[in-house]
């Protein structure tokens, strides 16, 4: 039985998240399937930023560090992100970029395993993870070892200090079993770190329950914090007393305003701060996270799977020739669906011209990948249905072969 638009609308009417779309500002006529790259604008953020800029900064000036409680922003945001990743707010730091968070955690992990000389990275991970691991290996005289994506633990032996993996793959949307891999790598004596950029706010994550050692994640994708929003860093409570991050700036000092000559690290995750935190970006992020108020991770996951299931079903019905690279198995699927195509870039551009926004990712090995992210807070089943109709029309009319799509933009 084929799936109709009426079926899609019926699914929307019974969805527990049907009210959360109103928490976002989305342009008329756009179906936004790129929340796995940059989340949409949450409704209160523009007003919050205007208030912080004009009131707190413009009028309050330096007094706002105390009066507007700018120092408390990091802790308040950590407490909001924590339940989305199965952690306590006290075990998170927020404020660096993901890349800098990766640097800090990788150095700390290597220092916790002084006899072990290897960092294991998965080769199809987001490039920055590999680049940072290479930089850390170079800095500390370690070796970078690539693992088999299908069996990352096989590369972990008695030389390995850290296995660092991305939980949900940025190209395919494939998801690892965090608890099983963590336990298997730890049984071989390694520490395990998870990059949650494509997980936080989209799929259930249980950092504490899975026994992970470190985690990092960005906040500009499914957490909707805005372009370049600060990342979070999580360190297992059991490691915090011994883990030492390398960028020992004054904001990680036990008493920054004592202005002492020598560094004395602050307790807990405050010691993971380095310099002054980005108040404007954190203010936007704090308000953005209100979009999750009253929404459980289970509801998010159920809605996300319902959207990706429908997208996959419609692709199977309408375009069975497409090479889907996202796992069908719910346990292995994140919140995106991707397909490989010789003209993936042109397809994505032709869809964007029709108001259906996804993106393209190169795979090194051609052909590239067209990616579609499904943010359950603001996407409907009707959007999914309409997006597939547009895709069918693009391919039927060969719109993706238009000469203007032969050259790629700087950001794909
Ligand atoms: C898995 C993963 N890690 C890291 C990053 C980016 O790191 P940064 O926030 O430092 O730009 C991305 C960006 O898309 C990503 O997908």
Q: What is the pLDDT of residues 345-390, one digit of tens each?
A: 999 999 999 999 999 988 776 689 999 999 999 999 999 999 999 9
Q: Which two tokens stand for residue 109?
A: 């992990």
Count structural domains, the chain: 2
Point out the domain boundary residue: 261, 292, 323. 292
36 token code pair: 């796995």
Mean pLDDT, all residues of the chain: 96
Q: Are residues 149 and 21 in the same domain?
A: no
Residue-wise pLDDT for 15-64, tens only, equals 999 999 999 999 999 999 999 999 999 999 999 999 999 999 999 999 99
- For position 365, what pLDDT does the model report? 65
**Counting atoms of ligand 1 from 1, which one is nearest the CA of 220?**
9
Residues 82 and 32 in one domain: no
| Residue 48 C-alpha from the chain's centroid | 23
* pLDDT value, residue 3: 83
Q: Tell me the average pLDDT across 388-412.
A: 91
Count of alpha carbons within 13 angstroms of residue 166, beta-carbon side: 25
Peptide bond into 367 cis (omega under 30): yes
Confirm or reject: Cβ of 166 under 6 Å from ligand 1. Answer: yes
Q: What is the mean pLDDT of residues 129-144?
A: 98
Interval between CA 216 and ligand 1 midpoint (Å) = 10
Supply the pLDDT for residue 126: 96
Q: What is the pLDDT of residue 402?
A: 94
Q: Same domain, yes or no, for 123 and 266?
A: yes
Which of 292, 309, 326 lies at the terminal end of a domain, its last residue? 292
Residue-level pLDDT at 91:
98
Residue written as tokens 């990766």? 102
Q: Determine if ligand 1 sits within 6 Å of the CB of residue 248.
A: no
**CA 401 – CA 399 distance, rounded (Å):** 5
DSSP H helices, 55-121, are 64-67, 73-81, 98-112
Q: How far is the CA of 218 from the centre of ligand 1 (A)?
A: 7
CA 275 to chain centre: 23
pLDDT at 139 over 80: yes
Question: Is there an atom of ligand 1 within 6 Å of 231 CB?
Answer: yes
pLDDT over threshold 80, residue 234: yes
Mutational test site, ligand 1, from 100, 104, 126, max ligand atoms within 8 Å of CB: 126
* Residues 392, 357 share a domain: yes
Q: Catalytic positions, please?
A: 126, 195, 220-221, 371
Residues with Cβ within 8 Å of residue 175, at least 6 apart in sequence: 167, 168, 169, 199, 203, 327, 331, 332, 333, 334
Q: Is the CB of 96 under 6 A from ligand 1?
A: no
Query: Do residue 370 and residue 256 come from a single domain?
Result: no
Mutate to test the pocket of ligand 1, among 97, 128, 228 (most ligand atoms within 8 A of CB): 128
Q: What integer pLDDT is reported at residue 363 of this predicted model? A: 77
Asked if the model's pLDDT at residue 1 lies above 70, the reply is: no
Residue 20: inside a domain, yes or no?
yes
Would you say residue 52 lies in a domain? no
pLDDT at 403: 92
Are 318 and 348 members of one domain?
yes
Domain shared by 220 and 305, yes or no: no
Say what the pLDDT of residue 324 is: 97
Mean pLDDT, rounded, for 282-290: 98
Q: Whose CA is nearest to atom 9 of ligand 1?
A: 98
- Position 2 pLDDT exceeds 70: no
Residue 412 has pLDDT above 90, yes or no: no
CA-231 nearest atom, ligand 1 = 9
Domain containing 217 equals 69-292
Residue 357 sits in the same domain as residue 285: no
- Measured in Å, residue 103 CA sits from the centre of ligand 1 at 13
Q: What is the mean pLDDT of the segment spanning 394-411?
A: 89
Angular region, 277: left φ>0, alpha ψ -120 to 50, beta rest: beta
């Amino acid at each position: 039985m084929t799936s109709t638009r009426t079926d899609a609308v019926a699914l929307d009417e019974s969805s527990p998240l049907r009210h959360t779309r109103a928490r976002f500002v989305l342009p008329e006529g756009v179906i936004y399937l790129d929340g796995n790259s940059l989340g949409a604008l949450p409704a209160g953020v523009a007003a919050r930023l205007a208030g912080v800029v004009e009131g707190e900064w413009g009028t309050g000036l330096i007094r706002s560090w105390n009066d507007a409680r700018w120092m408390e922003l990091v802790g308040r945001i950590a407490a909001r992100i924590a339940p989305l990743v199965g952690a306590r707010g006290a075990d998170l730091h927020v404020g660096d970029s993901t890349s800098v968070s990766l640097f800090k955690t990788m150095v700390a992990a290597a220092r916790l395993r002084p006899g072990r000389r290897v960092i294991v990275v998965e080769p199809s991970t987001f490039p920055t993870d590999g680049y940072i691991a290479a930089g850390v290996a170079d800095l500390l005289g370690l070796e970078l070892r690539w693992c088999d994506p299908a069996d990352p633990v096989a590369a972990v032996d008695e030389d390995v200090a850290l296995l660092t993996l991305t939980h949900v793959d940025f190209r395919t949307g494939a998801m690892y079993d965090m608890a099983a891999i963590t336990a298997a790598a730890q049984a071989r004596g390694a520490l395990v770190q998870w990059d949650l950029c494509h997980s936080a706010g989209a799929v259930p994550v249980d950092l504490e329950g899975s026994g992970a050692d470190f985690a990092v994640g960005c906040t500009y994708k499914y957490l909707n914090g805005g372009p370049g929003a600060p990342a979070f860093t999580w360190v297992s409570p059991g490691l915090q007393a011994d883990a030492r991050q390398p960028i020992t700036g004054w904001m990680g000092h036990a008493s920054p305003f004592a202005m002492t000559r020598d560094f004395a690290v602050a307790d807990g995750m405050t010691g993971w701060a380095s310099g002054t935190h980005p108040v404007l970006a954190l203010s936007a992020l704090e308000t953005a996270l209100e979009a999750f108020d009253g929404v459980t991770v289970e509801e998010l996951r159920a809605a996300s799977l319902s959207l990706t299931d429908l997208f996959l079903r419609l692709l199977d019905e309408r375009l069975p020739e497409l090479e889907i690279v996202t796992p069908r198995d719910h346990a292995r699927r994140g919140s995106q669906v991707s397909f490989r195509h010789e003209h993936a870039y042109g397809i994505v551009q032709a869809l964007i011209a029709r108001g259906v926004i996804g993106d393209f990712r190169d795979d090194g090995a051609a052909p590239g990948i067209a990616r579609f992210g499904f943010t359950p807070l603001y996407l409907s089943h009707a959007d999914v249905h309409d997006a597939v109709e547009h895709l069918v029309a693009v391919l039927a009319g060969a719109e993706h072969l238009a000469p203007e799509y032969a050259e790629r933009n700087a950001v794909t």
